[in-house]
């Protein structure tokens, strides 16, 4: 290689003399390569100003970065095209070779449609027996399986055209045996290089399987070629096009380039930021270099030739196999002749510096993709330009990058030196994805604070799956306003369209409505899409009204009341809509009309809202009927456009995405039509088509826009950044799992340059490390959320840690002691891997001694803990200003206070109400009543005589409140049998009309007169009588007790209350013994005194446990546990934690049992003595 300045001079002088040659630029810095590219563009502009520069790139992210860099250096970046290699080469075929169409008839999408038409016609042949067995099954899934299989085969044929063109040629010549022989050459006495197999990769059954695959794939390719050729011949008279694929066109183009300079060849061509190219593409570029300048920039991590180094794990396999096979080693492309000769030497394992070298173990393990491409480049005749540069500084990251650059072997001398304050390479073990993002946010703030020159655009965060982390990213980064110092502008690239846009997501959901159960939640979610809501002219208030109605109207699932059922579905949307419509004209008490019960909440001026819902449901019903019938692709095209225009509003916000979807509809359908596919398609295939199309669509528009960038780890996405962060580096998640198809023949005969997903991921990881200029940040889930057990990171992170532990010593000035090797390894590892608490509010996160303390000051518990110097977050509960107390006290407020002083204080004084405002919709078929439903229906039945129960139960069924079909009768019978004893007891009261009494009672507290006002209902002949269909709770007993006290003052000697309940299907009868008016007055004064003090002081009293505190004997430990259980959820749904006690116990652990006992006696001692059960 030549020095950079001299080589660039030679390149420019060659151009001036008209000498065309392939120029290879090797550098380990993409920035350096960019500088070379910009210099070439600036020093030698194209002779034709209207001709565009051609720069081949591997991703749009790289194109975006180059545009920005060129514009920054040159002032403007204009008239530059950034095609992908495959599209550029096909464009050259089209413009240079005769009769080559602009669209590739052998494109993967086109081949898939041809294969869908061909495969069913070939299943009767014996070669296709395996495919026939796979496709046989239920009719509704057979076409979907055919579509999926056709897609996999089309993808495989597309790879064969690029990586195995000789197989394609052999199949077209009906020479399947040539393909078999080509594969057999790779099988004897060897195993795949990345396989764990140590014995020869040959097996009779396996051989039979892949030879069978060669047979049916050859037959299928010939049929595919014949079909496309026939179709092309029919169109040839119109457009003069011929049936040619890339494998054939490649040879024709090479032949043309060897003979003459073809027209339309660009004056100059750049290949930039591409980690690997197929061999046929590289051959094409080499041939083009005979007639035009071709500049290929290769981001080479190592300055020395490393195309022959071997993965250490593979080397160990070779050693073991040599022993197992008695030194007989087969040949193959994975070892060159010198390596094979060395391997066959009896003492080869004693020569670690021989031809079988691992070089740098990380480069050997992760660099297979780049190593193979480098080997291909080394075979070309080119002007090679060397532009390497070592990383600046002596940080651990710089030492690691330089070790790779210089091909340093394991355990270099001298070793890496690590300073305690070195944070250039950090690995963080977290408990969850949320904690990963929270910790990253804090680290970013620390970095921005330490380095004012560092900005968000200098940082990139790469993830294995960006969609998985989107909710956590938004939750952490969007919680701060723009004027908050912790605000960091960010953007997320590479999201799937179905995840990033609600219109696209809902459109895809509509395509899968064929098998939908139309649950209440899923239909309302569709209606909640702004574009859908606006299309049916619903505002947010009306939508909230509908959501509330659906929850109370018995709508659960199903669109039609009589769909796929022998018994009517009263929980269907059609049934609920009929009840709403009837409710606009009449009420439920008006009776049953045409087997429908009116819905009271829709009564009045609500017909317009109900009508809008009806229009929406009509559209869904029509669309569902469309999905039921297979249709030709032309009809699907019309129906898909109808869906787009009918259910979505075309406004300024949605227009671009609607146009995007309309364009994709036409593209998908036109591809099928061009392929001549004329069979009907099931809706499941249509849904799969769109899902696949939108998943593969590039969505990197938010990359490199001046903000913090979140993106997916993609090829050559490792653009230089000052800080590179890798999240989600978990075991099993990265390298990403990819299981090859069993009929992929390339796996049986691998060659250099083949693309393997896991090898790609390893090389991406290596590129990410090398692209970090100042800091490399890695995080993974290192602890279990359930039991805090240690979890392993990605195998790549483990390999990096093992390598650094072996290579690194702590600087002697900071660690003068000589440690044993294992202890030294542990100290280095503990420095590199930082453990974090499970929760963000952990005190450890805010300790001043913690160099990585959190900026989330909202989570601070108090000012004194952990020497924190922040303002308090929680204020003392008692530090509340006393509000003005009215002389008139509502009876309802007093009852609420005595039932739960804690809840009253939260609600009245703090304005805090723990109420679940989220509407819960039942969305599945019910076969039995849950406890809440049973209680609600029972309460309604107990308000009526038994003679009216049959009519009421019929209304329950028509309202969708009972289970379906025969289950309704069973549930109704159980309700009736359970309630009959209690109904018999209360029958005399039901025959009467209940009265209510207005209360006006005057009381004097500490010389101040107060008046207690309210109403008491449920009076029968001046006696309070109440009943409930379940056990009587403490809160009800307290309510009836206070009402009795008030009645005694207003109407002395009034009858004591009677109240009834049901416990274990037995009637419970409660009443109070008579008390005097004086006793009632004294007891009410006790309550009122505490009530007045509660305006300022919190009274801690678990009134629900009065019976436990007043019973004998008492056990303090049991009483304390009973209080703690108030804030804990029980096993049953009914045993939910009291939210007020839950919040109180979380902040206050000290419970004064003696004070509670004393207060309980004063509050409820008389009540307990007076209460009679039975």
Separation between Cα atoms, residue 937 and residue 321, nearest integer Å: 76
For 920, what's the count of Cα atoms within 13 Å in the CB-facing half-sphere?
A: 3
Q: How far is CA 900 from its chain centroid? A: 42
Instruction: Give the span between the Cα atoms of 400 and 155, in whole angstroms.
Output: 39
The pairing of strands 1008-1020 and 1023-1027 is: antiparallel
Q: Where in the sequence of the chain do the CATH 1.10.486.10 domains occur?
A: 498-696
Tens of pLDDT, residue by residue over 251-291, are 999 999 988 888 889 999 999 989 899 999 999 999 999 99
Question: 259: number of CA atoms within 13 Å, CB side?
Answer: 8
Q: What percentage of residues in the chain have a pLDDT greater than 70? A: 85
Highest average pLDDT, of 726-730, 819-823, 1090-1094, comes from 726-730
Whether 461 and 440 have beta carbons less than 8 Å apart is answered as: yes
Q: What residues have CB less than 8 Å from 773, skipping those under 6 apart?
A: 720, 721, 722, 723
- pTM check: above 0.75: yes
Contact present, 553 and 599 (Cβ < 8 Å): yes
- Does domain 108-239 fall into CATH 2.60.120.1270? no
Give, in words, the CATH class of 4-99+251-299. Answer: alpha beta
User: Which among 293, 306, 300, 400 has a CA at the least distance from the CA of 32?
Assistant: 300
DSSP structure string for 990-1007: HTS--EEEEEEEEEEETT
Closest CA to 677 of 213, 236, 217, 154: 154
**Which pLDDT tens digit goes with each residue over 420-454?**
888 999 999 999 999 999 999 999 999 999 999 99
Confidence of residue 238 (pLDDT cuts 50, 70, 90): low
Highest mean pLDDT among 203-212, 216-225, 490-499, 1063-1072: 216-225
Inter-residue contact 402 to 769 (CB < 8 Å) = no
pLDDT of 326 over the 50 cut: no
Give residues with Cβ within 8 angstroms of 151, minimum separation 6.
112, 692
Q: Which of 670-684, 800-814, 963-977, 1115-1129 has the highest mean pLDDT?
A: 670-684
Which secondary-structure segment (H or E) carries 461?
A: strand 459-463
Structure tokens at 668: 């998908």
Q: What is the pLDDT of residues 70-106, one digit of tens each?
A: 998 888 888 999 999 999 999 999 998 888 888 888 9
d(CA 12, CA 44) in angstroms, rounded, equals 8
- Output the six-digit token pair for 423: 């944070």
Question: Partners of 725 in the beta sheet?
Answer: 461, 777
d(CA 852, CA 304): 39
Bridging pattern class, strands 772-781 and 425-430? parallel
Q: Is 296 within 8 Å of 348 (Cβ atoms)?
A: no
Max mean pLDDT range (212-221, 973-982, 1056-1065): 212-221
Is pLDDT at 1133 greater than 70 in this prediction? no
Distance CA 869, CA 123 (A): 76
Q: In which residue ranges of the chain is CATH 1.10.10.160 found? A: 108-239
As a whole number, the mean pLDDT across the chain is 84
> How many residues are present in the chain?
1174
End-to-end CA distance of the chain: 104
Domain with CATH 3.40.50.10930 in the chain: 4-99+251-299
Say yes or no: domain 418-495+701-838 is CATH 3.90.550.10: no
Question: Is the separation of the CB atoms in 1094 and 1061 below 8 Å?
Answer: no
- Residue 90's pLDDT is 92
Q: To which residue do tokens 């009271």 refer?
A: 600
Residue 357 carries which DSSP code? -
**Mean pLDDT lowest among 342-351, 690-699, 722-731, 1036-1045:** 342-351
CATH of 498-696, one of 1.10.10.10, 1.10.486.10, 3.20.10.10, 3.10.180.10: 1.10.486.10
In the chain, which segments carry CATH 3.40.50.300? 418-495+701-838
Average pLDDT over residues 727-752: 88
What is the token pair recorded at 553?
């109207």
Tokens of 146: 């055919």
What's the 3-state SS for 265-284? CCCEEEECCCCCCCHHHHHH
DSSP 602: G
């Amino acid at each position: 290689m030549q020095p950079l300045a001299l080589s660039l001079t030679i390149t420019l002088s060659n151009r001036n003399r008209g000498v065309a040659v392939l120029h290879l630029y090797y550098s380990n810095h993409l920035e350096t390569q960019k500088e070379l590219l910009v210099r070439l563009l600036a020093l030698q502009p194209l002779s034709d100003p209207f001709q565009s520069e051609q720069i081949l790139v591997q991703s749009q992210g790289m194109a975006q970065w180059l545009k920005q860099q060129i514009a920054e250096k040159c002032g403007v970046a204009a008239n530059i095209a950034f095609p992908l290699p495959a599209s550029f080469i096909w464009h050259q075929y089209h413009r240079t070779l005769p009769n080559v169409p602009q669209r590739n008839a052998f494109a993967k999408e086109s081949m898939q449609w041809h294969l869908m038409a061909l495969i069913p016609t070939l299943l009767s042949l014996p070669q296709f027996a395996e495919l026939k067995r796979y496709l046989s099954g239920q009719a509704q899934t057979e076409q979907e399986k055919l579509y999926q299989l056709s897609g996999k085969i089309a993808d495989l044929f597309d790879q064969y055209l690029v990586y195995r063109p000789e197989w394609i040629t052999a199949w077209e010549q009906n020479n399947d045996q040539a393909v078999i022989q080509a594969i057999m050459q790779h099988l004897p006495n060897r195993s795949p290089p990345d396989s764990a197999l140590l014995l020869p990769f040959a097996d009779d059954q396996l051989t039979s399987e892949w030879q069978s695959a060669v047979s049916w794939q050859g037959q299928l390719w010939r049929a595919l070629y014949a079909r496309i050729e026939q179709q092309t011949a029919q169109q040839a008279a119109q457009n003069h096009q011929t049936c040619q694929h890339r494998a054939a066109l490649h040879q024709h183009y090479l032949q043309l380039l060897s003979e003459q300079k073809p027209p339309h060849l660009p004056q100059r061509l750049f290949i930039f930021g591409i980690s690997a190219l197929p061999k046929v593409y590289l051959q094409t570029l080499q041939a083009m270099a005979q007639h035009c300048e071709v500049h290929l920039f290769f981001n080479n991590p190592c300055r020395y030739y490393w195309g022959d180094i071997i993965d250490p794990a593979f080397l160990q396999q070779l050693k073991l196999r040599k022993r197992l096979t008695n030194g007989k080693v087969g040949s193959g492309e994975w070892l060159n002749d010198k390596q094979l000769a060395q391997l066959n030497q009896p003492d080869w394992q004693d020569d670690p510096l021989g031809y079988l070298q691992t070089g740098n173990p990380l480069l050997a393990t992760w660099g297979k993709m780049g190593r193979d491409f480098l080997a291909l480049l080394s075979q070309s005749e080119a002007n090679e330009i060397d532009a390497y540069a070592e990383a600046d500084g002596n940080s651990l990251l710089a030492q690691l990058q330089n070790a790779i650059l210089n091909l340093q072997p394991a355990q270099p001398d001298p070793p890496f030196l690590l300073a305690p304050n070195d944070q250039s390479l950090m690995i963080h073990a977290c408990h969850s994805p949320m904690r990963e993002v929270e910790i990253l946010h804090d680290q970013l703030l620390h970095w921005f604070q330490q380095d004012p020159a560092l900005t968000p655009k200098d940082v990139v965060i790469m993830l294995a799956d960006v969609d998985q982390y989107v909710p956590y990213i938004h939750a952490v980064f969007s919680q701060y306003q723009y004027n908050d110092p912790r605000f960091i502008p960010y953007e997320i690239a590479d999201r799937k369209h179905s995840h990033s846009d609600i219109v696209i997501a809902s459109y895809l959901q509509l395509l899968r409505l064929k098998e939908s159960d139309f649950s209440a939640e899923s239909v309302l979610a569709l209606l909640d899409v702004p574009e859908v809501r606006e299309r049916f002219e619903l505002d947010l208030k009306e939508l909230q009204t509908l959501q509330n109605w659906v929850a109370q109207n018995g709508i659960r699932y199903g669109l039609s009341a009589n769909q796929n059922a022998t018994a009517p579905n009263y929980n269907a949307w059609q049934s609920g809509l009929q009840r709403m419509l009837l409710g606009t004209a009449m009420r439920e008490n008006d009776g049953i009309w045409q087997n429908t019960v009116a819905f009271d909440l829709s009564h009045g001026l609500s017909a317009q809202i109900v009508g809008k819902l009806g229009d929406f449901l009509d559209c869904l019903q029509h669309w569902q009927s469309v999905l039921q019938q297979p249709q030709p692709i032309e009809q699907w095209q019309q129906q898909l456009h109808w869906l787009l225009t009918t259910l979505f509003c075309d406004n300024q916000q949605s227009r671009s995405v609607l146009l995007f979807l309309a364009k994709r509809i036409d593209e998908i359908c036109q591809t099928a039509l061009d392929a001549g596919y004329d069979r009907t398609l099931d809706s499941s295939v249509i849904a799969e088509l769109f899902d696949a199309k939108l998943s593969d669509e590039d969505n990197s528009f938010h990359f490199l826009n001046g903000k913090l960038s979140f993106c997916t780890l993609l090829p050559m996405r490792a653009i230089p950044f000052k800080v590179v962060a890798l999240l989600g580096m978990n075991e099993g998640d990265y390298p990403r799992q990819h299981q090859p198809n069993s009929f992929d023949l390339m796996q049986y005969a691998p060659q250099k340059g083949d693309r393997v997903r896991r090898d790609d991921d390893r090389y991406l990881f290596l590129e990410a490390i090398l692209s970090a200029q100042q800091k490399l940040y890695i995080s993974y889930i290192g602890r279990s959320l359930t039991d805090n057990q240690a979890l392993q990171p990605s195998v790549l992170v483990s390999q990096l840690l093992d390598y650094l532990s072996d290579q690194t010593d702590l600087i002697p000035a900071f660690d003068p002691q000589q440690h044993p090797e294992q202890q030294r390894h542990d100290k280095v590892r503990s420095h590199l891997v930082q453990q974090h608490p499970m929760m963000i509010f952990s005190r450890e996160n805010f300790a001043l001694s913690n160099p990585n303390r959190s900026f989330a000051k909202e989570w601070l518990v108090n000012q004194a803990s952990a020497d924190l110097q922040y303002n308090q977050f929680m204020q003392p509960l008692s530090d509340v200003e006393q509000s003005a107390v009215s002389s008139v006290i509502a009876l309802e407020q007093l009852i609420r206070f005595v039932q739960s002083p804690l809840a009253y204080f939260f609600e009245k004084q703090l304005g805090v109400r723990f109420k679940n405002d989220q509407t819960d919709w039942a969305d599945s078929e019910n076969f039995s009543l849950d406890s809440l439903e049973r209680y609600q229906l029972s309460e309604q039945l107990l308000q009526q005589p038994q003679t009216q129960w049959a009519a009421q139960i019929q209304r329950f069924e028509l309202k969708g409140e009972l289970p379906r079909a025969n289950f309704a009768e069973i549930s109704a019978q159980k309700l009736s049998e359970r309630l009959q004893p209690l109904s018999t007891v209360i029958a005399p009261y039901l025959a009467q009309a209940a009265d209510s009494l207005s209360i006006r009672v005057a009381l004097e507290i500490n010389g101040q007169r107060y008046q207690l006002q309210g109403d008491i209902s449920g009076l029968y002949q001046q006696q309070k009588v109440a009943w409930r269909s379940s056990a009587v709770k403490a809160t009800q007993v307290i309510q009836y007790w206070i009402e009795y006290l008030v009645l005694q003052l207003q109407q002395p000697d009034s009858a004591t209350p009677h109240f009834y309940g049901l416990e274990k299907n037995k009637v419970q009868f409660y009443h109070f013994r008579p008390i005097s008016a004086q006793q009632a007055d004294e007891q009410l004064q006790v309550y009122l005194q505490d009530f007045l003090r509660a305006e300022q002081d919190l009274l801690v009293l678990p009134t629900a446990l009065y019976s436990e505190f007043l019973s004998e004997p008492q056990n303090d430990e049991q009483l304390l546990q009973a209080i703690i259980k108030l804030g804990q959820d029980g096993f049953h749904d009914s045993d939910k934690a009291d939210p007020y006690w839950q919040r109180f116990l979380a902040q206050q652990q000290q419970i004064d049992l003696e004070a509670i006992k004393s207060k309980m006696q004063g509050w409820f001692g008389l009540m307990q003595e007076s209460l009679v059960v039975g």
